[in-house]
Amino acid sequence: MKSNMHKQAIEMYNSAGMWEDAHHLASKYMDSSEVSKMYIAQAQRLEEQGRFKEAEKLYISVQEPDLAISMYKKQRQYDQVLQVAELA
């Protein structure tokens, strides 16, 4: 952080699957729209890999539960749709 390498630190946390730590840093050092774009893109990559629960966490962390609901609908995981809808 002292070397102003915020993005690299955030990417390091993301690649290690430490979403909460990465989100904390991103929220502190990046514009909120940048954070949203980054996390939506990351969630979409996780979705493509079949890592739905992790993708859901990212969608929820940037206040986009509709994207998580849509993801689960595509997978016909309707019980998960209901769970996310209850959280929203």
Domain ranges of the chain: 6-87
Full-model pTM: 0.83
- Please report the pLDDT score of residue 58 as a whole number: 92
- Please report the pLDDT score of residue 1 as a whole number: 53
pLDDT digits (tens), the chain, 88 positions: 556 678 888 889 988 988 889 889 998 988 999 999 989 999 999 999 999 999 999 999 899 999 999 999 999 999 999 999 998 7
- Please report the pLDDT score of residue 7 as a whole number: 85
Would you call 40 exposed, middle or buried from its count of C-beta atoms within 10 A (0-12, 13-18, 19+)? middle
CA 38/CA 41 separation, integer angstroms: 5
What is the number of alpha carbons within 13 Å of residue 73 lying toward its C-beta?
A: 8
